[in-house]
C-alpha cells in the first residue's frame, strides 16, 4: 500500500502578533528606535508561537485518518499545511495525489451571483476543470437540492442553503486525498448525515480521508487510524481506538480527579446536578463497558426548594444529533417529588447493545407540566464500549464506519 | 515553497514535496501560474459579472468615465496647454491618453485590493496567490477595449488622425497590462502586511496621473528631461505612444517607448519577485 501523506519533522511557527496588521508607522518607529539604540524594539528576541513541533506521521492511501486533540493543539494547522494553504516553517511534507480541502466550505461564494454562476465559479476555485464541472454539474445540483432557486442570487438563500451549495461543490471535486475540518459539523441533522454519507462514499471509492474532529464517536465510526496532537506534538499515533483511549486518559489526567464529573454539572430552576457516575450492574463505578453489558447511571442532585415531579430524561448519543437511546420518565409517567436537600436517582439499563466506541450521556429535566425544561438538554458525561474480542470473521468489515452503532443479535440462514 | 517533485512516490500519482524554507524560482512560479490559468480567468469572469450585476447602466459605465473626464479636461485645460508637435485637436489627444490611463488606474486600484477582498479564499483554499490580482487586472481590460471602441467611434468628431498605426494599440495594451500587473502584485502583497496601502493608494494614483502625460502631452516636457521622465515613469512613454499611434497617426518615438518598455518589464519582474518573496506567509497574516 502506498503512502498518501507523509509529514517529515514538520514544524510551524507563527510570528508574534506585533507583525500582524502592522502599519507603516509602527514599522518606521521601530526602525528609528533600532537606529538610535541599536537593539530590537521589544528589547529581546521576538517570541514565536510554535503550533507544530517536529511532527512526523504517515497516512496510507485509501485509509481514513483522524487527527484529534484539544483546542489549540495544532490540528487545523496540520490540515492547512496538507492543503497547501499555509507553508511549514521547517520540515517536509510529501503528498501523493490531489488534495481537496473541506475547511469552512463556501468561503468563495459570492452573494450577488446566482447559484448556477456560483457553482461554476466556486468549482473553479476549489480546483475543478471546466470539463469536470460540466460533467458533474447536474450531480452537484441534485446533491444540494437547490434546483428550484438555481437562478436566484445567492444573497436570497438561507445560511443553510449557502452551506449546502458550498459543500456540494467542494465535495464533488473528487480529490485523491480529502482533508476535512470539523467546521463541517454545522447545518441541520439531515445535512450532517449527508456530509457523513458523502465522506463514506469517497472512502468506498478508495479515496484517502484525513478528518479533524472533536467528535470522538464520529472519529471512531469513520476512521481506522489516528493521531493525537497535544501542544503541537504527536502524543499518540496508531489504531483509532487506542488514540481515542489515550486522548480520554489525557483529558482525565488534566481533570485530576478519578470520578470524572465533579462539582455542579448543571444548574437551573432550583435544581443542581452535582454528580453523575456510571456503574456496572454489580455497582462498580466504571466508564468502560463491553458490548451488551448493563449499566447504571447515578445522578446526585441538590434541590434548593421542594420540586414537584421533575421529569428526568437520560440519553445515550454517539455524537450525531439526537439520542441513540432515550430513557425518559415522561414516557412512563413516573416521577418523584423532591424535598429540599440532596437526592440520588438511579437509571438502570439492563443491556446496552452498542458497538465499541465512545458515547455521550445527555440529561434534561422538565418541570411538573412536562413542557418546560428546568435543566436544558446537555452532555453530562461519557462512557466507552470496548470489545475485547473484535469481530474476526473471514471478511471482517474493512472499516469501522461500516459497523452500525447498535448491536442486536442476528442470524443468517438459507430459506 | 511547493515544488512539483520528479520523484515518483506512489504507484501512479506524482509526488508533491512541500517545503516552506525556499521561495520558488520565477520560472517555477510562472509554471505554477500557468497551471492555474483557468482560475485567473474564473476570477476575472467573476469580477466582471459582479461589477455589472447591479449597475443599471451596465457596460455604459465604461464609456461614461472617459467621456466625463474628456469634457472636463477640454473645458478646463485645453486652452492652457499648447500642443506643439502632435498638432491634433486637444480632445483627440486627451481621449487617446485617458483610455489607457483609466485602464492603468482602475486596474491598479482593483488589483491591489483583490487579494484582501478574497482573503476568505486565501485562508481556505490553495492557489497561486497572484491569481485574484491578475484576474482583477484582466477584468478591467474589458473596459479598456470598450474604451478603444468608443475612441474609434468618436475619432472623426474629435479630429483624430486615425491611420494604420492604430493597430499598435494591441502591443501597447500588453505593455500597459504588464505595468498594471507588476504594480498591483507589488502593492497587493504590501497591502497584506500594511493596511495603510489601501488609504494611500487613491492619493498616490492621483499623483501618478498628474505625473503622467494625461492632461498635458509629453511634448510640453522639455526634451532634455524626457528621457529621465519616461524612465522613471514608464506610464509616460506608454501614454505618449498611445497618443501618437491613435491620435496623430504617427509611429511612437522608439527611444522613449523603448525606455518605458524596459522600465515596465523591470517593474513587472521586481513586483513579481517581491510578491513571491512575501507570499509564503499570506495565509498566516491576512
CATH code of the domain in which A81 resides: 3.40.50.300
User: What is residue A171's DSSP assignment?
Assistant: T
Confidence at A43, pLDDT banded by 50, 70, 90: very low
Express as a percent the part of chain B with pLDDT over 70.
90
Same domain, A234 and A333: no
pLDDT at B174 over 90: yes
Same domain, A369 and A289: yes
* Closest residue, chain B, to A82 (C-alpha): B18
Q: Position of cell 448543571? A: A266
CB burial readout A89-101, b (16+ within 10 A) else e: bebbbbbbbebbb
| Interchain contact A54–B (C-beta under 8 A) | no
**B76: burial class by Cβ within 10 Å (0-12, 13-18, 19+)?**
exposed
Same domain, A356 and A240: no
Same domain, A192 and A326: no
pLDDT at B272 over 60: yes
Confidence at A253, pLDDT banded by 50, 70, 90: low
Confidence at A370, pLDDT banded by 50, 70, 90: confident
| Interchain contact A132–B (C-beta under 8 A) | no
Same domain, A235 and A278: no
- Looking at residue B76, its pLDDT comes to 81
- Looking at residue B7, its pLDDT comes to 36
Smallest Cα–Cα separation from A347: which of A268, A274, A294?
A: A294
- Looking at residue B234, its pLDDT comes to 93
Q: How far is A61 from chain B (nearest CA, A)?
A: 9
Residue A186 lies in a domain: yes
Spatial separation of the C-alpha atoms in residues B131 and B242, rounded to whole Å: 28
Residues of A in contact with B13 (CB under 8 A): 96-97, 176
* Closest residue, chain A, to B10 (C-alpha): A2
CB burial readout B119-158, b (16+ within 10 A) else e: bebbbbbbbbbbbbbbbbbbbbbbbbebbbebbeebbeeb
Higher pLDDT, B239 or A32: B239
pLDDT at B219 over 60: yes
Spatial separation of the C-alpha atoms in residues A111 and A193, rounded to whole Å: 26
Same domain, A227 and A293: no
A84 closest CB neighbour out of B2, B38, B118: B2
Same domain, A206 and A355: no
CB atoms within 10 A of CB A224: 20
Domain boundaries of chain B, sorted by first residue: 25-285
pLDDT at A345 over 80: yes
Q: Among A206-215, A309-318, A399-408, B55-64, which is the least confidently predicted range?
A: A399-408
Q: Position of cell 502583497? A: B189
Q: How far is B122 from chain A (nearest CA, A)?
A: 7
- Looking at residue A183, its pLDDT comes to 56
Q: Among A43-52, A123-132, B8-17, B178-187, which is the least confidently predicted range?
A: B8-17
- The answer to whether B123 contacts A85, with C-beta atoms less than 8 Å apart, is yes
Residues of A in contact with B19 (CB under 8 A): 87-88, 91-93
Residues of A in contact with B16 (CB under 8 A): 94-96
**Triad B141, B144, B150: Cα angle to 5°:** 150
Residues of A in contact with B39 (CB under 8 A): 124-125
| Interchain contact A186–B (C-beta under 8 A) | no
Spatial separation of the C-alpha atoms in residues B183 and B191, rounded to whole Å: 12
- Looking at residue B81, its pLDDT comes to 67
| Interchain contact A84–B (C-beta under 8 A) | yes
Q: Tell me: the pLDDT tens digits for B6-22?
A: 333 344 567 788 887 67
A112 closest CB neighbour out of B38, B39, B53: B53
pLDDT at A402 over 70: no
Smallest Cα–Cα separation from A174: which of A210, A133, A141?
A: A133
What's A337's domain CATH number?
2.70.50.60
- Looking at residue B2, its pLDDT comes to 41
Q: How far is A351 from chain B (nearest CA, A)?
A: 45
**Triad A204, A209, A213: Cα angle to 5°:** 125
Q: How does the average pLDDT of chain B come out, rounded?
A: 86
- Looking at residue A322, its pLDDT comes to 77
Q: Position of cell 501618437? A: B244
Query: What is the separation of C-alpha A387 from the centre of its chain, rounded to a whole number of angstroms?
Result: 23
A176 closest CB neighbour out of B13, B49, B122: B13
Smallest Cα–Cα separation from A212: which of A71, A398, A354?
A: A71
In the sheet where A373-385 sits, what is the strand order?
A288-289, A373-385, A357-366, A311-317, A325-328
- Looking at residue B40, its pLDDT comes to 93
Residues of A in contact with B53 (CB under 8 A): 112-113, 153
Cell of B57: 447602466
Residue A88 lies in a domain: yes
Domain total for chain A? 2
CA distances from A268 to A249, A273, A403 (A): 30, 9, 39
Confidence at B217, pLDDT banded by 50, 70, 90: confident
pLDDT at A256 over 60: no
- The answer to whether A124 contacts B38, with C-beta atoms less than 8 Å apart, is yes
Q: What is the mean pLDDT of residues B187-199?
A: 89
- Looking at residue B1, its pLDDT comes to 40
| Interchain contact A13–B (C-beta under 8 A) | no
Cβ pair B189, B279 in contact under 8 A:
yes
- Looking at residue A389, its pLDDT comes to 62
Q: Tell me: the pLDDT tens digits for B69-84?
A: 988 888 887 666 665 5
Confidence at A395, pLDDT banded by 50, 70, 90: very low
3-state SS, chain B, equals CEEECCCCCCCCCCEEEECCCCCCCHHHHHHHHHHCHHHHHHHHHHHHHHHHHCCCCHHHHHHHHHHHHHHHHHHHCCCCCCCCCCCCCHHHHHHHHHHHHHHHHHHHHHHHHHHHHCHHHHHHCCCCCCHHHHHHHHHHHHHHHHHHHHHHHHHHHHCCCCCHHHHHHHHHHHHHHHHHHHHHHHHHHHHHHCCHHHHHHHHHHHHHHHCCCCCCCHHHCCHHHHHHHHHHCHHHHHHHHHHHHHHHCCCCCHHHHHHHHHHHHHHHHHHHHHHHHHHHHHHHHC
Residue A325 lies in a domain: yes
Same domain, A209 and A329: no
Q: What is the mean pLDDT of residues A221-236?
A: 90
Count Cα neighbours of A92 within 13 Å in the Cβ-side half-sphere.
8
CA distances from B173 to A117, A388, B170, B225, B246 (A): 29, 74, 5, 25, 12
Q: What is the mean pLDDT of residues B31-58?
A: 86
Q: What is the mean pLDDT of residues A3-12?
A: 92
Express as a percent the part of chain A with pLDDT over 70.
84
Q: Among A246-250, A391-395, B117-121, B199-203, which is the least confidently predicted range?
A: A391-395
- The answer to whether B54 contacts A23, with C-beta atoms less than 8 Å apart, is no
* Closest residue, chain B, to A183 (C-alpha): B124
| Interchain contact A141–B (C-beta under 8 A) | no
Same domain, A54 and A196: yes
Q: Which of A219, A251, A283 is the last residue of a domain?
A: A251
Residues of B in contact with A93 (CB under 8 A): 17-19
A121 closest CB neighbour out of B46, B196, B281: B46
Q: Among A349-353, A366-370, A386-390, B274-278, which is the least confidently predicted range?
A: A386-390
- The answer to whether B196 contacts A85, with C-beta atoms less than 8 Å apart, is no
Q: Tell me: the pLDDT tens digits for A57-111?
A: 999 998 999 999 888 888 989 999 998 888 898 899 999 988 888 877 777 788 8
Q: How far is A52 from chain B (nearest CA, A)?
A: 14
- The answer to whether A125 contacts B42, with C-beta atoms less than 8 Å apart, is yes
Cell of B158: 474629435
Q: How far is B138 from chain A (nearest CA, A)?
A: 16
Cell of B197: 496601502
Cβ pair A164, A146 in contact under 8 A:
yes
Q: Among A364-373, B46-55, B218-227, which is the least confidently predicted range?
A: B46-55
- Looking at residue B180, its pLDDT comes to 96
Residues in chain B: 286
Q: How does the average pLDDT of chain A come out, rounded?
A: 82
Same domain, A229 and A323: no
pLDDT at A41 over 60: no
Same domain, A273 and A214: no
Residue range(s) defining the domain that contains residue A82: 3-16+47-105+171-251
- Looking at residue B9, its pLDDT comes to 37
- Looking at residue A372, its pLDDT comes to 85
| Interchain contact A85–B (C-beta under 8 A) | yes
Higher pLDDT, B16 or A297: A297
- The answer to whether B120 contacts A108, with C-beta atoms less than 8 Å apart, is yes
Residues of B in contact with A125 (CB under 8 A): 39, 42, 121, 125, 127
Q: Among A287-296, B167-176, B200-209, which is the least confidently predicted range?
A: A287-296
Phi, psi of A208 (to 5 degrees): -95, 140
Residue A119 lies in a domain: no
Cell of A172: 464533488
- Looking at residue A227, its pLDDT comes to 94
Same domain, A368 and A223: no
Residue B273 CB contacts under 8 Å (≥ 6 apart), including other chains:
B26
Confidence at B259, pLDDT banded by 50, 70, 90: very high
Q: What is the mean pLDDT of residues A21-44?
A: 63
Confidence at A184, pLDDT banded by 50, 70, 90: low
Amino acid at each position: 500500500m502506498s503512502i498518501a501523506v507523509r509529514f517529515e519533522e514538520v514544524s510551524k511557527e507563527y510570528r508574534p502578533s506585533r507583525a500582524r496588521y502592522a502599519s507603516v508607522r509602527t514599522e518606521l518607529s521601530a526602525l528609528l528606535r533600532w537606529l538610535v539604540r541599536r537593539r530590537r524594539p521589544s528589547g529581546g528576541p521576538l517570541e514565536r508561537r510554535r503550533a507544530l513541533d517536529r511532527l512526523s506521521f504517515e497516512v496510507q492511501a485509501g485509509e481514513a485518518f483522524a487527527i484529534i486533540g484539544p483546542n489549540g493543539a495544532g490540528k487545523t494547522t496540520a490540515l492547512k499545511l496538507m492543503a497547501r494553504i499555509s507553508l511549514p516553517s521547517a520540515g517536509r511534507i510529501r503528498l501523493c495525489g490531489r488534495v481537496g480541502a473541506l475547511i469552512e466550505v463556501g468561503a468563495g461564494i459570492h452573494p450577488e451571483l446566482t447559484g448556477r454562476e456560483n457553482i461554476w465559479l466556486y468549482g473553479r476555485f476549489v480546483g475543478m476543470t471546466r470539463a469536470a464541472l460540466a460533467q458533474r454539474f447536474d450531480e452537484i445540483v441534485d446533491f444540494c437540492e437547490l434546483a428550484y432557486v438555481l437562478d436566484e442570487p445567492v444573497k436570497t438563500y438561507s445560511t443553510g442553503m449557502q452551506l449546502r451549495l458550498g459543500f456540494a461543490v467542494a465535495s464533488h471535486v473528487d480529490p485523491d486525498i480529502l482533508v476535512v475540518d470539523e467546521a463541517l459539523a454545522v447545518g441541520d441533522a439531515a445535512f450532517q448525515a449527508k456530509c457523513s454519507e458523502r465522506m463514506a462514499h469517497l472512502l468506498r471509492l478508495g479515496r484517502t480521508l484525513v478528518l479533524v474532529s472533536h467528535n470522538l464517536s464520529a472519529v471512531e465510526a469513520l476512521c481506522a487510524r489516528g493521531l493525537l496532537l497535544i501542544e503541537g506534538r504527536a502524543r499518540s499515533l496508531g489504531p483509532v481506538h487506542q488514540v481515542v483511549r489515550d486522548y480520554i486518559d489525557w483529558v482525565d489526567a488534566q481533570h485530576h480527579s478519578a470520578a470524572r464529573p465533579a462539582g455542579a454539572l448543571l444548574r437551573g430552576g432550583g435544581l443542581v446536578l452535582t454528580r453523575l457516575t456510571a456503574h456496572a450492574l454489580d455497582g462498580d463505578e466504571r466508564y468502560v463497558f463491553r458490548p451488551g453489558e448493563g449499566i447504571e447511571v447515578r445522578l446526585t442532585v441538590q434541590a434548593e426548594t421542594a420540586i414537584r415531579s421533575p421529569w428526568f430524561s437520560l440519553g445515550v448519543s454517539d455524537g450525531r444529533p439526537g439520542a441513540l437511546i432515550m430513557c425518559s420518565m415522561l414516557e412512563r409517567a413516573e416521577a418523584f417529588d423532591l424535598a429540599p436537600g440532596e437526592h440520588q436517582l438511579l437509571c438502570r439499563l439492563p443491556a446496552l447493545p452498542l458497538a465499541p466506541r465512545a458515547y455521550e450521556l445527555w440529561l434534561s429535566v422538565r418541570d411538573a407540566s412536562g413542557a418546560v425544561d428546568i435543566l436544558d438538554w446537555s452532555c453530562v458525561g461519557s462512557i466507552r464500549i470496548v470489545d475485547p474480542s473484535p469481530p474476526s470473521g473471514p471478511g471482517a468489515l474493512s472499516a469501522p464506519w461500516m459497523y452500525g452503532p447498535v448491536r442486536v443479535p442476528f442470524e443468517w440462514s438459507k430459506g | 515553497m511547493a515544488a512539483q517533485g520528479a520523484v515518483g512516490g506512489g504507484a501512479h500519482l506524482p509526488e508533491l514535496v512541500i517545503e516552506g524554507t525556499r521561495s520558488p524560482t520565477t520560472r517555477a512560479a510562472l509554471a505554477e501560474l500557468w497551471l492555474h490559468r483557468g482560475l485567473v480567468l474564473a476570477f476575472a469572469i467573476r469580477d466582471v459579472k459582479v461589477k455589472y450585476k447591479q449597475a443599471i447602466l451596465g457596460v455604459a459605465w465604461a464609456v461614461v468615465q472617459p467621456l466625463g473626464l474628456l469634457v472636463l479636461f477640454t473645458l478646463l485645460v485645453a486652452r492652457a496647454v499648447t500642443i506643439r508637435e502632435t498638432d491634433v485637436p486637444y480632445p483627440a489627444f486627451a481621449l487617446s491618453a485617458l483610455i489607457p490611463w483609466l485602464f492603468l488606474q482602475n486596474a491598479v486600484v482593483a488589483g491591489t485590493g483583490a487579494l484582501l477582498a478574497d482573503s476568505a479564499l486565501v485562508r481556505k483554499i490553495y492557489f497561486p496567490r497572484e491569481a485574484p490580482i491578475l484576474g482583477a487586472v484582466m477584468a478591467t481590460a474589458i473596459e479598456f477595449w470598450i474604451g478603444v471602441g468608443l475612441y474609434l467611434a468618436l475619432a472623426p468628431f474629435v479630429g483624430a488622425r486615425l491611420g494604420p498605426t492604430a493597430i499598435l494599440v494591441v502591443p501597447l495594451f500588453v505593455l500597459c497590462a504588464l505595468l498594471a500587473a507588476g504594480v498591483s502584485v507589488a502593492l497587493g502583497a504590501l497591502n497584506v502586511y500594511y493596511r495603510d496601502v489601501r488609504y494611500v493608494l487613491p492619493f498616490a494614483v492621483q499623483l501618478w496621473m498628474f505625473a503622467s502625460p494625461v492632461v498635458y502631452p509629453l511634448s510640453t516636457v522639455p526634451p532634455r528631461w524626457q528621457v529621465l521622465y519616461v524612465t522613471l515613469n514608464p506610464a509616460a512613454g506608454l501614454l505618449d505612444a498611445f497618443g501618437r499611434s491613435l491620435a496623430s497617426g504617427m509611429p511612437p518615438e522608439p527611444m522613449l517607448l523603448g525606455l518605458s518598455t524596459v522600465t515596465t518589464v523591470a517593474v513587472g519582474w521586481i513586483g513579481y519577485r517581491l510578491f513571491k518573496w512575501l507570499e509564503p506567509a499570506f495565509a498566516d497574516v491576512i
